[in-house]
Chains A and B, each alone.
Chain A
Amino acid sequence: MSETASDQDHREYMTVEIGEQLFGLPIEGVHDVFRPENMTSVPRSRPEIAGVLNMRGRIVTSIDMRRRLDLPPRKADETAMAVGIEANGESYGLIIDRVGEVLRLPTTSLDANPVNMDRGWAELSQGVYRLDERLMIVLDVTRVLAVLDDIAA
C-alpha cells in the first residue's frame, strides 16, 4: 500500500463504528467500502452470515459484524455500510454501521486487551488505542473469518 502505511513505527487504520464502539481496521486489508445492496440471504447459514451480494462481478459473502460481536441488531431506519476484504482469494464484506476516517497511529501506543474484555471480543481484538475522545479496538480481520470458519467446520 502507501509508503506511510508500511512505515515501521506507524500504522494506518480505517475507523468504523459498530454499535457505539469504534473499531480500527488495518488499512492495507481494506479493499473497498460500499453500501450493501441487493443482499441475498443464505438459508441455513450461520446467523452471522448476512448473505451474498454482487460487488462488481464478484460474489461477496457478507458478515454482519453486529451479530458477530453479539450486539443488538440494527433498527430498521439505520443504514449500514460494508467494508470489502479478501481472504484466501475469496471476497468478504464486513457489515458495519458507519465508516469514519483514516488514522495514522504509532504502533508503540497500542495497548493490550484489558483482561476483563468480553471473551468473544478479545478473540477478535489485536489491542486498544486510547484516542482523545474514545477507545478504538483494532479488529483482527483474519480472526473474524477464521473463528467463523472453525465453527462452520
Chain B
Amino acid sequence: MDDLVAEFLTETNESLDTVDVELVRFEQDPNNAVILDNIFRLVHTVKGTCGFLGLPRLEALAHAAETVMGRFRDGETVTPEAVTLILESMDRLKVILAGLEAEGCEPAGSDEDIIARLEIAAEGPPEDAKPADSAAVMVDEPVDEPVPLDELEVAFRNAPGPEDAMAGNGAAPNAADGADGPADGAPRMGATEGGMAQQSIRVNVDTLETLITTVSELVLTRNQLLEISRNQKESDYKVPLQRLSNVTAELQEGVMKTRMQPIGNAWQKLPRIVRDLSRELGKEIELDMVGADTELDRQVLELIRDPLTHMVRNSADHGLEGPEGRREAGKPATGRIRVSAHHEGGHIIITVADDGRGLDADRIRRKALENGLASEAELDKLSEAQLHRYIFAPSFSTAETVTSVSGRGVGMDVVRSNIELIGGSIDVKSTKGEGTSFTIKIPLTLAIVSALLVECGEQRFAIPQIAVIELVRAQSGSETRIEYIKDAPVLRLRDRLLPLVRLADILGLDEGAAGAGSGEATDRILESAGFIVVLQVGSQNFGLVVDSVLHTEEIVVKPMSTLLRGLQAFSGNTILGDGSVIMILDPGGIAEAVASETGGETAGASVEDKPSVGSADNTMSLLLFRAGGRAPKAVPLELVTRLEELEVERIEHVDGRDVVQYREQLMPLVYVNSEVRLREEGQQPIIVFTDGDRAMGLVIDEIVDIVEASLDISLGSERPGVLGTAIIREVATEAVDVAHYLEQAFTDWFGVKDKEPAGRSVLLVDDSAFFRNMLAPVLRSAGYQVAPCSSAAEALTTLEAGHRFDVIVTDIEMPEMDGYAFAEKLSGHARFAGLPIVALSSHATEAAVERGRRAGFRGHVAKFDRTRLVATLEEMTRALEEAA
C-alpha cells in the first residue's frame, strides 16, 4: 500500500477515536467551544487529507458531518439526535477506512443515506464556502490545490492525529484528556500549533520490540557477568562491572518505559460505548474514569482492552437498573459506572464498579445447580462471596433475558481466562441493592519479572515474586510446624489454617527417588526441613513446601517450546545468571492442581473468608547495612529508592556539606553518624531515598543483606536518627529513622511545606513508633496537622476530649483494640460516625479491604505507599469540602 495512505489510515483512525470521546464530552457540555473546536478540526483534517489523496467517499461524508458541526459552532442547539448522527457518520468513516486498509482503495458503496440525514440536520444544503473559511482560521492547511509532498507533511504534522499517536507512545493519551475534564483541551491545542511535535517521534512497534529483546539479552549477560564476579574474590572487573550493571539497569528501565502506555488508551472507547448503551437501554448512565494516566505495558494493555469493554457493557446492561427501578430503590435516577486504575506493587489494579442492583446470589445459585456446577449440599456451604464467584465459571450468564448488549455467550469466564492468561486475577464484590465491583490485578509487564528461586529435589525453580506473600520456615516441635488433617498438610499461620502442597508432589520429583518409598519417611523430611512459600492466587492462599529458598533474581521470561506447553505447573522458562536454564512455576496452574487434587475449591475456600490482614504486618523486607560500629542497621526496603556506589571523586564539598551530582540534580549526602567516613578512593556505597523529586544519599560503610523479618523494636532510643533496637536474625540491629536524615538533608524539607495553610487535621493512630515517626512528617509535608496516638484507646480519649479532626488514619494490627474494633466503636458513636477513617496495613488483601469496609473504613492504604496515602487523604478532604 502507498506509504502516504498507510500513514493516513493510522492517523485518521486515531483521530476518529478521539472524535468519539470528544463528542460524548461535548454532548454533556454543549457550551464548551474548546471541545467543539477540537472535534471540528479533527474532522476537517480528515476531510482535507481525503480530498488530497483522492478518496471521494470519505471526503463527502466527512464534509457533510463537518457542516453539521459547523452549525453547532454557529450556536445552534446541540441535540442528542444530531450527536448520534455524527457518531454514526464517524462509524461509517471507520467502515470505509477498514475497507481501504484491507483493499488499498475505497470500497464501493454509497453514503447517501447518512449524508442526506446530515444535510437535513444541517437544515438546508451545506454551504461550501464556510468550512473552507474556517479551515483557514483553524489550521493552515492546503486543501483544494495539489501541493508538494513536504507541504503535505506539514499538514500531517499539524493534524492532531500524530500528536495523539505520539502521546500514545509515551506521554498523556487522549482518553486521559477525556477523563481529566475540559481544561485539558486548551494546552493540547496550543501544543499542536506550536513546535511541540518535535519532542516525540513515531517509532515502529517492531523496532521497539527488537530493542526490548536486545536489552533483555543484555540483562541476562549482565547477570551472568555478575555471577562470575561474585565467585571471584578480588577482581579488577568489579568496579566497571558494577557500572555496567547500573547502566544496564537504567537502560532496561528506559526501554521498558517505551512499552508503557496509559491505561486510558484502553478506555478511550468507553464513553462512546456507555453513551450508546444508555440510549439503547433507556438508562441514564454516568461514566467516571479515574487514573487514566496509570501506565502499563503496551502488550498487557492490548490484552485487557476487550475484557474491560465487556465488563463495562455488563455493568451497564446487567448491573444498573432502569430509571424506575432505581427510583423505587431510592437511588438517583442516573446510574454510575466507575472505572479506575492505580499501581500497587508490581501490579496495576483496575476496578469496574457500578451502583446498580448487585449480584443476585439466589439466581447464581439456581444457575449453578442447573448447569451442574455444584451440588445443593456444596452450595449450602458457600458464603455469598463464594457464590458470586460462580459468575466466572464457564458459560455462566445470570441475565434472565439475553439482551443484545452483553448476553452473547462470551461471559465473565472469557474475561477471567483472558486476564489469567497474562498472569492476572479477577475478583468480584457485590452487595445486593448497592452495586457490584470487579477488581482486576495484573502485572505491569510481562517481559522481565522479579522471581524467587527455590530448590526442590535438587532442582531449582523460579516463582514469580508477585504471587509470593511471605516465606515461612516450619520446624518440627516449634509453633510453626506442619500438621496433618488426614493426609493433607496444613500450617497454622497466625489466625488461619493454610493448606500446604509439596512442590515435590506436584512435580512428581519423589517418584524414582531411591529410598523415599515410605510415606512416613517423606513426612519426616517434610517436617524437619520445611520452607513454605506462601502464595496468593486470586483470593486463594496456599503454602508451597520446598527444600530451600535461594534468592531473588530479575528474570526474563521466555515462552516454553510447543512440546512443553501442555504442562500445567509451568508458565515459562528462563536463563539464570549462571547460564543454566530453569523452569518458572505458574502459581495459578499449581493452585488448580491443588484444587483438583483435593477435589474442589476447598483448598482456597477454607482460607479465603478469614481475614488475612496483618499476616504480613509483622514481616517486611529490611535492608541491613553497616555504618559506623559493628552492629548492623536496618531500614525498611520500601523506603529505599536505590542502592548506589559512587566514585569518591564525584563527591563535592559545597557550602559545608557533601553533595553529589545525581541524575542532573545536586543530591545532598548525609552521614548516618560521625563514625562513618567517606572512603579514600574507589566506590562509596550510599542508600538513596527520595520524596517527590528530591533525593538524599545516606552514606554508609557497606550493604549487608536484604532480609524478610519483623521490625519489633524492643528497646527505644533517645538518640536522633535511631528509632530503637530490634532483634533481626538473632542480632541486635538498630532501626534507622529515615525521617530524621531527610530533615537533616533538607532543612527546608518539611519546613517550607509546613508554612502552607494547614487546613485539615489528621489523627494518626499506630502502635509502632517507627511508623508514627515515618508517617507524621509525610502527612505534615502534605499540609496536614497531625496528632499521633500510640493506641486506639489514646485516640478515643483524644477524640472524646473534644479535639476535632477531619480524618483518621489508623493501623489495623494493634494490641488491645485493633483497627477494626476502633472503627466499629467510632461508627457507633453519634459524634464521630461521619468521620472518615483510612486503614493502614502493609498487606491489603481483598478480604481485609472488605472487612475494613464493613467496619467503616473509607480507604485502605499500604503502609509504605506514601503517595497513595496522601492521595487518599486528599480525596477524602476534598469530599468533605464538597459536602460542606
Contacts and interface: CB of A to CB of B under 8 A. Distances in A.
Interface of A: 38, 40-46, 49, 52-54, 57, 59, 61, 63, 88, 90-92, 145, 148-149, 152-153
A93 to B, nearest CB: 11
Interface string B202-235: 0000000000000001001100000000000000
Contacts of B220: 57
A5 B457 CA distance: 46
11 contacts: A42-B567, A42-B570, A43-B583, A44-B508, A45-B567, A46-B563, A53-B581, A59-B558, A61-B561, A88-B562, A148-B563
B563 A44 contact: no
B580 A43 contact: no
B507 A54 contact: no
A142 to B, nearest CB: 12
B575 A145 contact: no
Contact of A57 (B217, B570, B583): B217
Given A40-B581, A43-B569, A46-B563, 18 more contacts: A38-B580, A40-B459, A40-B583, A42-B570, A43-B459, A43-B583, A44-B507, A45-B564, A52-B573, A52-B581, A54-B580, A59-B575, A59-B581, A61-B561, A90-B562, A145-B563, A149-B563, A152-B566
Contact of A44 (B565, B569, B573): B569
Contact of B580 (A40, A57, A149): A40
Contact of A152 (B563, B568, B573): B563
A52 B583 contact: yes
Interface of B: 217, 220-221, 457, 459, 507-509, 558, 560-570, 573-575, 579-583
B567 A40 contact: no
A42 B461 CA distance: 10
A54 B578 CA distance: 10
Nearest to A41: B459
Contacts of B507: 43-44
Contacts of A90: 561-562
Contacts of A61: 560-561, 563-564
Interface of A is mostly: mixed
Given A43-B509, A44-B567, A57 B575 contact: yes
Contacts of A54: 575, 579-581
B379 to A, nearest CB: 33
Contacts of B563: 45-46, 49, 61, 63, 92, 145, 148-149, 152
A40 B457 CA distance: 12
Given A57-B217, A152-B566, A42 B583 contact: yes
A61 B581 CA distance: 10
A92 B569 CA distance: 21
Most chain A CB atoms below 10 A, which of B566, B574, B575, B581: B581
A48 to B, nearest CB: 9
B565 to A, nearest CB: 8
A124 B35 CA distance: 67
A58 B244 CA distance: 23
Contacts of A49: 563-564
A153 B573 contact: no
Contacts of A53: 581
Contacts of B575: 54, 57, 59
A39 to B, nearest CB: 8
Contacts of B582: 40
B564 to A, nearest CB: 6
Contacts of A59: 558, 561, 573-575, 581
B242 to A, nearest CB: 23
Contacts of B569: 43-44
A88 B563 CA distance: 11
B571 to A, nearest CB: 13
A46 B566 CA distance: 10
B579 A38 contact: yes
Contacts of B580: 38, 40, 54
Given A40-B580, A43-B507, A91 B566 contact: no
B561 A91 contact: yes
Contacts of A42: 564, 567, 570, 583
- Highest count of chain B CB atoms <10 Å: which of A40, A43, A54: A43
Nearest to A148: B563
Interface centre among A59, A88, A152, by most chain B C-beta atoms within 10 angstroms, is: A59
A131 to B, nearest CB: 32
Contacts of A52: 564, 573, 581, 583
Contacts of B570: 42
A45 B562 CA distance: 12
A43 B561 contact: no
B563 to A, nearest CB: 6
A42 B459 CA distance: 10
Nearest to B565: A152
A90 B565 CA distance: 12
Nearest to B220: A57
B574 to A, nearest CB: 8
| Residue picked from A40, A49, A145, most chain B C-beta under 10 Å | A40
B746 to A, nearest CB: 46
Which are the 10 A-B pairs with shortest beta-carbon distances?
Answer: A43-B507, A61-B561, A90-B561, A52-B581, A40-B581, A152-B566, A54-B581, A54-B575, A38-B580, A54-B579
A134 B558 CA distance: 42
A41 B507 CA distance: 11
B589 to A, nearest CB: 11
Contacts of B568: 44
Contacts of A45: 563-564, 567
B223 to A, nearest CB: 12
* Chain B CB within 10 A, most for which of A52, A92, A153: A52
A63 B561 CA distance: 12
A52 B569 CA distance: 16
B209 to A, nearest CB: 14
A92 B564 CA distance: 11
B566 A153 contact: yes
Contacts of B565: 152
Contacts of B581: 38, 40, 52-54, 59
B171 to A, nearest CB: 34
A92 B561 CA distance: 8
Nearest to A153: B566
Nearest to A46: B563
Contacts of A91: 561
A81 B698 CA distance: 54
A92 B579 CA distance: 18
Nearest to B503: A43
Nearest to B504: A43
A152 to B, nearest CB: 5
A148 B580 CA distance: 25
A59 B560 CA distance: 8
A91 B563 CA distance: 11
Nearest to B576: A54
B417 to A, nearest CB: 18
A41 B564 CA distance: 12
Contacts of A63: 563
Contacts of A57: 217, 220-221, 575
A92 to B, nearest CB: 7
A5 to B, nearest CB: 26
A61 to B, nearest CB: 4
Nearest to A91: B561
A87 B457 CA distance: 31
B562 A43 contact: no
A54 B566 CA distance: 21
- Max chain A CB contacts within 10 Å: which of B508, B563, B566? B563
Centre residue among A40, A44, A63, A149 by max chain B CB count within 10 A: A44
A55 to B, nearest CB: 9
A57 B582 CA distance: 13
Contacts of A92: 561, 563
